[in-house]
Amino acid sequence: MQYFQRDNCVEIINAGEFDPVKTFECGQCFRWNADKNGVYLGVAMKRAAKVWKTGESVFISGTLEDFENIWRDYFDLDRDYGALRKSLNTDEYIKKAADYGAGIRILRQDKWEVLCSFIISQCNNIPRIKKIIESLCERFGEPLYFEDKTLYAFPDAAKIAGLTEKELEPIKSGYRAKYIIEAANAVASGAIDLDMLASGSCDQALRVLKGIEGVGDKVAGCVILFGLNILDAFPVDVWIKRAITANYGEGFNPKIFGKAAGLAQQYMFYYARSNSTA
DNA sequence: GCTCAGGCAGGCT
DNA sequence: AGCCTGCCTGAG
């Protein structure tokens, strides 16, 4: 990967395996939104940034220092996605899905943010998930001043821990409020150490995360894949369920995808969604 | 009004 | 193990 400072941003050249649109729209994150020119504005890791692609270059606003300290890791730029993608060649369907999703990267997001966001996602639609998360950030997150706007960082678990359901009511998360608070309490108190889970196994993390009320297989799987960056996690939601039924049937086991199972899941999700909503 | 949306838990068979 | 149902809320 080659990159250099250019005006007020960093340019990554020959970014064939980095497609910002696919990366932001494949269901792993909720706080990156495109303007009418296709430039994404988002908040992550307590920073705001703009990200866009022109030709074969990806541009990320900010300094070289921020790029090297934050965004290089956040966009998982040191992993060889080309090799992982090409390893998904065990059947025609996954080959097609992987080809279609080329450029998707699995973000290394803040672990608590992923846990909280996917608790909110349950039985909810994407616009409303985003709305609830933005509302949570506006009310409890630290303000960030970016260009002419005021944006808000995702609030730390410690900030949410100890809130009452009543205090969380304005964000309209409904019955999920008590799950959010319980998860915040567990993380803030250290009862659950997300950083430690990230260095353990998928099964271990699954067991611990499911100990939180309101966290089942799907939410835990998303936290493991998108937050802990354990790529053999394979969260199954309704889209993936449909894709499995249509292409594999009974007895499907994500282990056929080996170490790239989580990435396979993202390709399947993106492929399934794009081909039914487009 | 009604149903549904990117789940979960608890109780049932 | 698998099947059912209620759950906050807002959009269609």
Q: Nearest nucleotide, C1' to the C-alpha of A216?
A: B8
Q: For residues A218 and A237, is the Cβ–Cβ distance under 8 A?
A: yes
Range in A26-35, A222-231, A235-244 with the lowest mean pLDDT:
A235-244
DSSP string for chain A:
-EEEEETTEEEEES-TT--HHHHHHSSS-SSEEE-TTS-EEEEETTEEEEEEEETTEEEEES-HHHIIIIIHHHTTTTS-HHHHHHH--SSHHHHHHHHHTTT-------HHHHHHHHHHHTT--HHHHHHHHHHHHHHHSPEEEETTEEEEPPPPHHHHTT--HHHHGGG--GGGHHHHHHHHHHHHHTSS-HHHHHTS-HHHHHHHHTTSTT--HHHHHHIIIIIS--TT-----HHHHHHHHHHT-TT--GGGGGGGHHHHHHHHHHHHHHHHH-
Rounded CA-CA distance A136/A171 in Å is 6
DSSP string for A219-262:
HHHHIIIIIS--TT-----HHHHHHHHHHT-TT--GGGGGGGHH
Task: For residue A173, say whether its CB is under 7 Å from any atom of strand C.
Answer: yes
Q: Residue A273: its pLDDT value, please?
A: 86
On the question of pLDDT at A183 being above 60, the answer is: yes
Over residues A15-19, the mean pLDDT reads 97
Q: Nearest nucleotide, C1' to the C-alpha of A235?
A: B6
Over residues A41-50, the mean pLDDT reads 97
Task: For residue A213, say whether its CB is under 7 Å from any atom of strand C.
Answer: no
CA of A52 to C1' of C2 (A): 46
Range in A137-151, A178-192, A235-249 with the lowest mean pLDDT:
A235-249
CA–CA distances in Å: residue A152 to residues A33, A45, A135, A227:
14, 11, 10, 20
On the question of pLDDT at A78 being above 60, the answer is: yes
Q: Nearest nucleotide, C1' to the C-alpha of A173?
A: C8
On the question of pLDDT at A172 being above 60, the answer is: yes
Q: Which of A242, A255, A221, A272 is nearest to A90 (CA)?
A: A255
CA of A166 to C1' of B13 (A): 38
Please give the backbone phi and psi of residue A249, each rounded to the nearest 5 degrees, phi first: 75, -160
Q: Which of A231, A278, A234 is nearest to A254 (CA)?
A: A234
Q: For residues A224 and A199, is the Cβ–Cβ distance under 8 A?
A: no
pTM: 0.95
Longest dimension (CA), chain A: 54
Task: Give the number of C-alpha atoms closer than 13 A to the C-alpha of residue A85, restricted to the C-beta side.
Answer: 20
The more confidently predicted of residues A1 and A52 is A52
Write out pLDDT tens, residues A80-89. 999 999 999 9
Report the percent of chain A where pLDDT is more than 70: 99
The residue written with tokens 């990267």 in the block is A105
Task: For residue A174, say whether its CB is under 7 Å from any atom of strand C.
Answer: yes
User: pLDDT grade, residue A276 (50/70/90)?
Assistant: low
Please give the backbone phi and psi of residue A47, each rounded to the nearest 5 degrees, phi first: -135, 150
Q: For residues A180 and A145, is the Cβ–Cβ distance under 8 A?
A: no
Write out pLDDT tens, residues A108-156. 999 999 999 999 999 998 899 999 999 999 999 999 999 999 999 999 9
Write out pLDDT tens, residues A216-226. 999 999 999 99
Q: Is the dihedral of CA A55, A27, A210, A110 positive or negative?
A: positive
Task: For residue A222, say whether its CB is under 7 Å from any atom of strand B.
Answer: yes
Q: Residue A278: its pLDDT value, please?
A: 37
Over residues A50-78, the mean pLDDT reads 98
CA of A215 to C1' of C3 (A): 20
